[in-house]
Amino acid sequence: MKAESAKARRKLPLDTPSRFSDNAIKDLSGALTALLADFFAVYIKTKNFHWHMSGPHFRDYHLLLDEQGDQIFAATDDIAERVRKIGGTTLRSIGQINSQKRILDNDAPFVTPNDMLSELRDDNLQLVDEMRQVHDLCDEHGDVATASLLENWIDEAERRVWFLFEATRDISHKA
């Protein structure tokens, strides 16, 4: 009896109080969950490159990627909690992250520092594009709270892009 009732409870709807329609909850939570998977993918790649950095700028790049990784990771809880606040569900496993992420992995045994920073720059640009799309969806459904959060995360990602760009820019060629 207890096992049957526990199994039945797992199938019950969340019934989180929300002013959003079922369609809006589905759209928003789906988009935010995919975005969350991408944030985790960029976080792991940032930490991978942080751990495997080498070369004459090791200390600067190592610290830069540590700072950026902390910033990316900090947003993950807010994204997941926003999904729950609006009445949806979000990531439950590494497998789900892997199936929903759009950021490519880099498992290469060696990557040059410049290639690491360039790849992370491009990944953060991709995050910016994805966040702008989710922002449009928020506007469509009147979700001003999520839109406001996204605006801050977009600004943070654009700052990461700028730092990564400047760290890789070849200034030896003068105009």
The pLDDT of residue 18: 83
The pLDDT of residue 13: 61
Does residue 82 lie in a domain region?
yes
pLDDT at residue 41 above 80? yes
Distance CA(121)–CA(168), nearest Å, equals 9
Does residue 24 lie in a domain region?
no
The percent of residues above 90 in pLDDT, for the chain, comes to: 86
Where does residue 39 rank: exposed (0-12), middle (13-18), buried (19+ CB within 10 A)?
buried
| Contact in structure between 161 and 59 (CB atoms under 8 Å) | no
Does residue 47 lie in a domain region?
yes
| Contact in structure between 49 and 111 (CB atoms under 8 Å) | yes
| Contact in structure between 134 and 31 (CB atoms under 8 Å) | yes
Mean per-residue pLDDT, 125-141: 98
Whole domain around residue 115: which residue ranges?
39-168
Does residue 4 lie in a domain region?
no
Query: What are phi and psi for residue 28, nearest 5 degrees?
Result: -70, -45
Does residue 141 lie in a domain region?
yes
Number of domains in the chain: 1
Give the CATH number for residue 129.
1.20.1260.10
Does residue 85 lie in a domain region?
yes
Distance CA(130)–CA(96), nearest Å, equals 18
Does residue 75 lie in a domain region?
yes
Does residue 173 lie in a domain region?
no
